[in-house]
Amino acid sequence: MRGQSQLNRDRWDNRFRIYAVVFGAAVALHGADHLRRGMDVIPPAVMVAGMIQIALAVVTILLVFLGSQWAPHSAVVVGFVSAAGFSVAHLLPTWGFFSDSFINAPPGARVTWMSWATAVFEIIADIVFGLMGLAVLRSRATSQVSRGMGRD
């Protein structure tokens, strides 16, 4: 018979999988906007960072669906680092080679309401994905403590 702590853990794992899909959709929509804008308007450093982020996002989503013990750790790192990176790259005025600013973008950058919507959606999704990773880690730790105390 499954105890309450295991049911709680299963609930968090299910939410984690659902949110991995939302996170993946946010990454895909933001990437689609970059394609719409044209790769020629994106600074090379931003493009490389974006490709690395997409690869790490795919690996993290796979870890979630494979039930890896490393999935929540990866979600925390990828989620929070991505949120910080996208915020710095898009939401600040132009500041350097890692900048693709939407604040003072030239008309040739083709920044539209869709660019803003997908960037903000991804930043929010990144933060929530990182928080979900923390919640799953906490639920797993609680489940292990309960099992160790014979409460399961």
User: Which string of DSSP letters, residue by residue, matches 104-118?
Assistant: S--GGG---HHHHHH
For the whole model, what pTM was predicted? 0.87
User: In this predicted structure, what is the pLDDT of residue 147?
Assistant: 54
pLDDT score recorded for residue 10: 78
pLDDT less than 70: residues of the chain: 1-9, 143-152
Total domains present in the chain: 1
Assess contact for 81 and 73: CB atoms under 8 A: no
Q: Is residue 147 part of a domain?
A: no
Residue 150 in any domain: the answer is no
Q: Which helix (H) or strand (E) holds 54?
A: helix 44-66
Domain with 123 in it? 1-142
Q: How far is CA 28 from the centre of its chain?
A: 11
Determine, yes or no, domain membership for 111. yes
